[in-house]
Structure 1
Amino acid sequence: RPIRAPHACALCGATDSYLDEVLTDDAGGRMFVCSDTDYCTARQAARQAAE
């Protein structure tokens, strides 16, 4: 279930979207990413275009 976490999306940097907590390894590593993958992908593309 998406949550509003006190974090930014690890992929696009969004602070205004619902985030999913993703476990990244067996040691309990985790990151927060946008629950809306289309929104996240569009933000990543816009960020790359601006660089």
Structure 2
Amino acid sequence: MPGLDQNSTKILNLAVLQRMDPYIKEILITTAHVTFYELNVDLNQWRL
């Protein structure tokens, strides 16, 4: 993110993730690209 230092970016990203899952406590590792999959327990299948 232009204009933000590494720590500010990490704090902002953590806040975004915590809106989706309030149990997230910290970001351990960062990467440029991520793919999110959700497990459908009833069908025992992953989906995008």
Q: TM-score normalized by structure 2?
A: 0.36
Q: Which has the larger radius of gyration?
A: 2
Which has the larger strand fraction?
1
Greater relative CO, 1 or 2 (CA 8 Å, sep 6+): 1
